[in-house]
Amino acid sequence: MQVQNKVVILDFGSQYTQLIARRIRESGIYSEIHPCSIDLQDLKAMQPTALVLSGGPSSVGSQESPGIDKGVFELGLPVLGICYGMQLIAHLLGGTVEPARNREYGRAGLEFAGPCPLWEGLLDREGLTVWMSHGDTVLTLPPGFEVLGRTTSVDIAAMADADKKIYGLQFHPEVAHTEEGKRILHNFLFKVAALVPDWSMTSFIQDCIRDMGEKIALDEQVVCGLSGGIDSTVVAVLLHKAIGKRLHCILVDNGVLRYNEGREVVESLTKYFNLNLKYVQAQDLFLSRLHGVKDPEEKRKIIGRTFIEVFEKEARAIPGVKWLAQGTLYPDVIESVSFKGPSAVIKSHHNVGGLPEKMNLKLVEPLRELFKDEVRKVAVELGIPDSIVWRHPFPGPGLAIRVIGAITPDRLEILRKADRIVQNELFASDWYTRVWQGFAVLLPLKTVGVMGDERTYEHVVALRIVDSVDAMTADWSRLPPEILARVSNRIINEVQGVNRVVYDISSKPPSTIEWE
């Protein structure tokens, strides 16, 4: 990538570290996260133009607390320490840090101590409401530092050595609860560090297409599994622009996709992008292996194994394949927090786990540097249709883990019809893009009902519709009752075999989004 400006964030384990990176990138500056245990020479080799030291749960005074090489402060780079990052600056440069008289969690009122580049554009305000989360506090400043701000319980809530461009904030400017947090981060990037924005999705697309065109030799072919989701579609479209027909896309229909989904994805991708795309209809193979299977993990294993088998067979049939394209995103590759040693937690792609080694393929992962929201921006710039850009996440094992209990063609068909109604009504009411995921689940029980003068004994469908930002936590969507009523009426009237619809009002945690 061709960016001149790069902010490296050294991670001390804060839950907000990724948020800092996203905020910086939103400002047009490329930012990467690395574990705080990184070697000083490796850090230098990355040629950062500014550093951020993240927050973290530790206490600088304790023995196991994570530290950094003091040489970091000799690199001549602007540094911003946030929360633990500020305490570490104080600790390493000769100040003192103590347990706070009053631990501060949540909102606090920040008063400015005087003008400084970080507060540019803010001094006409009385102060700011900021978000704190700390048990320790900086008691005395290191030599050369001055106080920039205080709160009622903390005398040193912000500090700086302006000559060396080293700044510390006890509060979290990256969280939305901090007033003007974005402006403070901007001031650090543009006033203190004097960086120039050069990270945009347009430049990413140009660089990415050029880099992939150079990396993949002219006689080499690339294979890419398409799921219909945004990540694999963006990978395919970028690669198609880089190497054209040398990209071979494969969409495997595993028989547990949504209503007509395989066909629709193939039609829209062929129509819009003229991709070299093979639609492999392996429904019968998958469904024969899934028939009667009840255990969710067994369902997942069967689908994963069968996918690899089918995909490998198709990929081997393409002469000259040397590369496998994958939609790995940045959160999947960030080396996990921590001073406990860089432990790379790399999520294996559920669809193609093990394939690259087995087939001796090289990996091409053009989205490795991007967050999900950036992938969406890339997709929009590439002209990918809204129906794919805003498509809800859909699990690899598909409807198989939403037919609770034994899988049979009849039960799958009932679920597929009910799910289609949920999708249609979410679209029709404009709620589709306002929720994270919405779907139907077929329960393994029957209940009594009455239709006309007849008693019925039929299936129950549960609706699972949730709000979330990253699927780590979720809450049930407060859909207007009239939409729920319409979905319920339509399912009971239109899907034969269902006489009851229930709405799942559990949050995650302690529940999960999927039922299996």
**Which residues of this chain interact with ligand XMP, rule CB under 6 A?**
300, 350, 393, 395-397, 437, 471, 508, 512-514
CB of 405 to ligand XMP, least distance (A): 17
Q: Which of 36, 91, 134, 174 is catalytic?
A: 174
Question: How far is Cα 176 from Cα 7, in angstroms, rounded to an integer?
Answer: 21
Residue pair 209/241 in contact (Cβ under 8 Å)? The answer is yes
CB of 443 to ligand XMP, least distance (A): 16
Map tokens 């990413």 to a residue.
204
CB of 513 to ligand XMP, least distance (A): 3
**Strand, coil or helix: 326:** coil
Q: Which of 36, 83, 208, 224 is catalytic?
A: 83
Tell me the β-bridge partners of 111.
150
CB of 432 to ligand XMP, least distance (A): 15
Q: Which is nearer to ligand XMP, 186 or 391 (CB)?
A: 391
Q: Which is nearer to ligand XMP, 199 or 330 (CB)?
A: 330
Residue 327's nearest CA partner among 242, 211, 234 is 234
Residue 386 token pair? 């809204």
Residue 55's nearest CA partner among 23, 31, 87 is 87
CB of 459 to ligand XMP, least distance (A): 22
Q: Which is nearer to ligand XMP, 206 or 512 (CB)?
A: 512
CB of 230 to ligand XMP, least distance (A): 13
Exposure on the CB side of residue 272, measured as CA atoms within 13 A: 18
CA 309 to chain centre: 29
Q: Which is nearer to ligand XMP, 451 or 469 (CB)?
A: 469
Map tokens 């779907």 to a residue.
439
Q: Which is nearer to ligand XMP, 26 or 467 (CB)?
A: 467
Q: Which is nearer to ligand XMP, 112 or 515 (CB)?
A: 515
Residue pair 400/440 in contact (Cβ under 8 Å)? The answer is no
Residue 324 token pair? 């496998």
Residue type, 325: A
Question: Would residue 172 show up in a list of annotated catalytic residues for this protein?
Answer: yes
Question: Would residue 83 show up in a list of annotated catalytic residues for this protein?
Answer: yes
Residue pair 2/207 in contact (Cβ under 8 Å)? The answer is yes
Beta-strand pair 454-467/475-476: antiparallel
Helix count (H) and strand count (E) of the chain? Answer: 15, 18
Q: What is the DSSP string of 15-76?
A: TTHHHHHHHHHHTT-EEEEEETT--HHHHHHT--SEEEE---S--TTSTT-----GGGGGS-
Which residue numbers are catalytic?
83, 172, 174
